[in-house]
Amino acid sequence: MKKLEGKVAVITGGNSGIGLATAKRFVEEGAYVFITGRRQQELDAAVQQIGRNVTAVQGDVANLTDLDRLFATVQAEKGTLDIVFANAGGGEFVPLGAITEEHYDKTFNSNVKGLVFTVQKALPLLKDGSSIILNASITSIKGSEAFSVYSATKAAVRSFARTWTTDLKQRKIRVNALSPGPIATPALDGLVSPEETEQLKANLVSSVPLGRLGDPDEIAKAASFLASDESSFITGIELFVDGGAAQI
């Protein structure tokens, strides 16, 4: 029997990168997945790549009406949920002194507001004993240059894993944070100009003891572990999947 056989999962930001890799792995391991993303064309392509046992719902996690539509779809199609991977989010390099209100609001809306309400709106559908996985980042404990707003949002995500573990203990719902290091995704490529991308990657690799960027499926494997009964006595943790980048 596959480790996620018969499970129903929601993965926000499931149209690319870590979210898409996780959706693929969850389906391979027996789950039915609902994925979200802001761009319909990318969602359609993701559905084709995943191939089966997937429903795509276009929307922005920072838009509460879009979240309501997502969970109405889940309820109509499956009735209940077993797994939520609150993965959607993003960031930009902006040094202190150049931070704008627009940058602050955009980053906190997607990474914090969107995550909070994704989880809260999922609660009525989540079975007791379900698994909630929050996508954090090693930046929450690192002093990454020009990345302060993004890093602060990920510190908030780590805090939520602790407090929600307490809030949901009566329902035996497990809440864990997953903190990737530098991963080879389209989002990484989008942080800087094409001319600067290779230098950025070289700088990141130099900080990783294993000497390379991570692959999105390596994060997906960790998410699968936290989603499954293999981690049945694990809650409130931050699982670093970073090649050692934040550990030494």
Q: Per DSSP, what are the bridge partners of residue 57?
A: 36
Active-site residue among 85, 117, 150, 164? 150
Q: Are 86 and 117 in contact (CB under 8 A)?
A: no
Residues 108, 5: Cα–Cα separation, whole Å = 35
Q: What is the DSSP letter of 111?
A: I
Q: φ, ψ for residue 123 (rounded to 5)?
A: -55, -45
Residues 74, 92: Cα–Cα separation, whole Å = 32
Q: In terms of Cα–Cα distance, which of 248, 203, 199, 243 is closest to 222?
A: 243
Respond yes or no: is residue 150 known to be catalytic. Answer: yes
Residues carrying an active site annotation: 150
